Structure 1
């Protein structure tokens, strides 16, 4: 593997204190957050932290010097990283060169960096500082309620999370995942504009149960895919909501309780429904929040999830939790396209599972919509856990992957990882061969683990939410036929070449769904980073080789642009989501705005 720091870096920089993980004893919650924030800003080259700095080697390791005007400079201590950046931030954090004064809070750091930013970007730095304040409050809340949450899960589901089975058990795994940091986005645990009371009532990290609110809408104003008869049996009639007089003319549409009030009134007015749609006073249908928060599972039937829009943002100020009609149509198109692939690739039948997302409703506004997600039957005895939960701390302080390994892989978490990587890469490279790359990140894929008739372990993948893939129509038609389902609403989905596909494959499948576990398990001491990265590369290489080596073909493309590329694309999520406007980034899609980072899959002599 290539080294993760320039050859000039001294030994002290390669083995300094920065390599310790976020769980280090004595590290405060605020310092933990600030390390993640500075690491993200460095990775994304905010105010030139990568490109305008010069290295300074000191006794404790390497620092990066950023000119700050008037002969002064900001100094950022760094250490080798390698995951999505050559360097990561380390303690003692940012400092002024002139007097050595250290900036140890996110407010101080973002104020200093914002002062160096283009004036057009300074509002973004202020907004990001507010994200950090919200996230810090949430992290402290998580710290205070850790034992309370663990006790509640154990009481409801049992002491061992490897025994939390079925889709109801998967909701408990969502709770574990909601208390874990995102692999890349530093403020992912923050919930924009929500206080502690609202978090306890509606956020997945508290595993609450609450009732949905409902509006009843004139039937002519509510578009329902498949017609009203397609709505689930759990869907209330106006009479069930206490509005019997509207039963013959109106249909019900769910509303998240946090949307009730000014956001809902504004949406109804904008859609021309003020005075014609009625908010029912009576809540109806008990639900439990999933990891995405805006998607809830019906308590009495966890195979039915309902996604409703919310007037908030996550993973960036501009990443709003709304639902446009095109999103719903694209989700159906994505589902149909995957079904067509599986029909051509029989080894994935019964192995790659998909929730049905063909039933949805929309009333002409991004806050007036609902998606009915129906999961496959027959999973009651299986463990169904989102990938996002695997490295979460579970009972006894052990990771969830350790518990699952105990039950299914003889206590070996690396064996579980190996089996997962084989299946993941086989599936995702097969899709790439057909001209498809999915935005199937850790939240959108679940592991399904159980024992077969002979007692052997069976692993499957359960997918959802395929409304934002990248698709190469010419290759899709060449492999699946001229009538392949390509009816996407969002023009950005369809691509004329493989670059958008390899970018998505790398940033989602490789970085988030594979590389993050290699680096994460190494950080937790389960194996050495070199051995784990070898495993990722070997399993990906095996899958790529199955596509063939024809020049210009999908196998050769993945080898050139992923396995053997000198650098890899990396999502610049903070820049596109909050720091910079779309005009400044030029990003057509804030979730697909990239910078570059080191290729941790490369091997060179002595690199392992």
Structure 2
């Protein structure tokens, strides 16, 4: 199957899952000689037919062929196989106000396809360079430096939900090669020198966190500004005009100086806007990136308020760990209390400090587990060989026990984290008592908090984003389901089954059993909430990321947060339970 075919199938599956133009709700299933189709009425007696197969992971069906079939009133047919033709046919059925979003998504498709083809060209060479630099076995890539190599492997995978995730809006091949994690490059940021009084900062001074590495104005060739100015890093992909516009908008254009000298070697992480300091890789710099991923509305800049919220959430997690000492040595937190901004989302920086003492550990972002290693085998297989006698299910079992225990405990306190595959790393060690796995968390600036229950258990924490706080469990349960269950558990069940590494029923049973054990340890009412809304629900919330991120405006889809806008899908956890009335009804096909 070509890259274009793979992408088209993912796009069609996502549009079906999100019920775009009624693909799911207005379609009638029909069975033809080659399999099942969904027939969507169109204009003037015509119809669009989508070939589908049973799926189960967040949607009953997924596309099985890379095409739509147009059927006329007299049953003549024509296949639409190109992106432009497919999206054009669906665009014609959309409300006129929504049609520009289909044009934007078509551009995303083209950018992603170009990136996929580039990946196909360079993947083997990149894998060879990683094997040469770090060794042939990724289970022995150690410490924070080895984690960067795992980030590179993960960057070649597709997002479990968003079909065009490999595209970065507005970036060409040369820019990807120079700054994207899948190429494992080094780069140097530029620096804008600002009056100290114009900068809002928190935590230890940057110069203390990165002694000898954070540049003074003098080091950047501006000695006359050394006494009362501070240098903020600027990602090289931030172009001069947007930067100038940002400075002007906060009244700093006459007081800012862009240093001519770049400084500090960085290596991009899986989050492209974050770079690890090359000679001190446990320290990362998160910088605004003037592009969009996972939808045109998902800008990769840094809103100043998110810096304070990330630090506030870190303090909240530290308080939970202090109350729950069993997590003291098993849940590690990156320090995100050191940050600064000048009042604009292009003038900001976070200095993230990861825990010390992990130089001999294998640190693997969850997003890398299903990535092919240089050997051609999956990363999870290499890790299983080293730590779990070659059994990937035993490794996943150990991960899920800890992950579900931690996340359900947080839910009991009234906290749900947006800790998806990119924001959780697994820390593996071989100890005298056997293999040990720990969680390493970062980037926790978008949680949901039940203020009522949290206030009964811990000191309240203030957040700048009003969307974070609620007075009930609904937003928390939705976030818990779409992130912890779907992305950090279900994705691996279906991924291991799809690649032939384990039977789907066995992995789903493992996921359900470990989740049920963790939920049953909770007191009421959070225990009942998770049982009712997750374990026993007929349908589960599912991210509608294409709709909220690109196709529709925020006003049209009514998304307060495009990363937390949902549709629903089948509860695959019920497949691991005895049959019962909670099963969703199947669609009845007609000939």
TM-score interval w.r.t. the shorter chain? Answer: over 0.9
Unaligned runs of at least 5 residues, structure 2: 584-591
Q: How does 1:291-330 map to 2 (within 5 A)?
A: 291-330=270-309
Q: What is the DSSP-based 3-state SS (H/G/I as helix, E as strand, rest coil) of the residue aligned with 1:300?
A: coil
Q: How does 1:242-281 map to 2 (within 5 A)?
A: 242-281=221-260
Q: Distance in 1 between matches of 2:79 and 2:471?
A: 49
CA apart distance, 1:154 = 1.0
Q: Distance in 1 between matches of 2:204 and 2:158?
A: 40
> What's the CA shift string for 1:177-209, capped at 9, x where partnerless?
110000000000111111111100000000001
Number of residue-to-residue matches in the alignment: 574
Matched with 2:562 is 590
Matched with 1:9 is none
CA RMSD, 1 decimal = 1.2
Matched with 2:586 is none
Kept after mapping to 2: 8 A contact 1:336/1:485: no
Q: Distance in 2 between matches of 1:281 and 1:152?
A: 32
Q: How does 1:365-444 map to 2 (within 5 A)?
A: 365-444=344-423
Among 522, 529, 544, the alignment partner of 2:519 is 544
> What's the CA shift string for 1:221-275, capped at 9, x where partnerless?
1111136465532211001111111101210000000004222122112121112
Regions of 4+ moved over 6 Å:
none
Kept after mapping to 2: 8 A contact 1:92/1:102: no
Matched with 2:588 is none
Q: Distance in 1 between matches of 2:247 and 2:209?
A: 22
Give yes or no for the alignment of 1:161 onto 2:138.
yes
Q: What is the DSSP-based 3-state SS (H/G/I as helix, E as strand, rest coil) of the residue aligned with 2:349?
A: strand
Kept after mapping to 1: 8 A contact 2:289/2:300: yes
Matched with 2:551 is 579
Q: TM-score, with normalisation over the residues of structure 1? A: 0.93
Among 85, 88, 96, the alignment partner of 1:111 is 88
Kept after mapping to 1: 8 A contact 2:128/2:374: no
Q: Distance in 2 between matches of 1:359 and 1:260?
A: 25
Matched with 2:476 is 501
Matched with 2:456 is 478
Q: Distance in 2 between matches of 1:321 and 1:577?
A: 13
Give yes or no for the alignment of 1:468 onto 2:446.
yes
Q: Distance in 1 between matches of 2:225 and 2:144?
A: 35
Give yes or no for the alignment of 1:532 onto 2:507.
yes
Matched with 1:605 is 579
Among 39, 46, 51, the alignment partner of 1:72 is 46
Give yes or no for the alignment of 1:179 onto 2:156.
yes
Among 354, 360, 365, the alignment partner of 2:333 is 354
Q: Distance in 1 between matches of 2:182 and 2:242?
A: 24
Q: Distance in 2 between matches of 1:86 and 1:157?
A: 42
CA apart distance, 1:326 = 0.8
Q: Distance in 2 between matches of 1:334 and 1:29?
A: 40
Kept after mapping to 1: 8 A contact 2:452/2:472: no
Q: TM-score, with normalisation over the residues of structure 2? A: 0.96
Give yes or no for the alignment of 1:224 onto 2:201.
yes
Matched with 1:57 is 31
Kept after mapping to 2: 8 A contact 1:333/1:485: no
Q: Distance in 2 between matches of 1:396 and 1:155?
A: 12
Kept after mapping to 2: 8 A contact 1:572/1:594: yes
Among 546, 551, 557, the alignment partner of 2:529 is 557
Q: Distance in 1 between matches of 2:560 and 2:208?
A: 35
Mark the CA change 1:173 to 1:227 in structure 2 (over 3 Å): closer, same or farther.
closer
Q: What is the DSSP-based 3-state SS (H/G/I as helix, E as strand, rest coil) of the residue aligned with 2:540?
A: strand
Give yes or no for the alignment of 1:170 onto 2:170.
no
Q: Distance in 1 between matches of 2:203 and 2:256?
A: 22
Unaligned runs of at least 5 residues, structure 1: 1-26
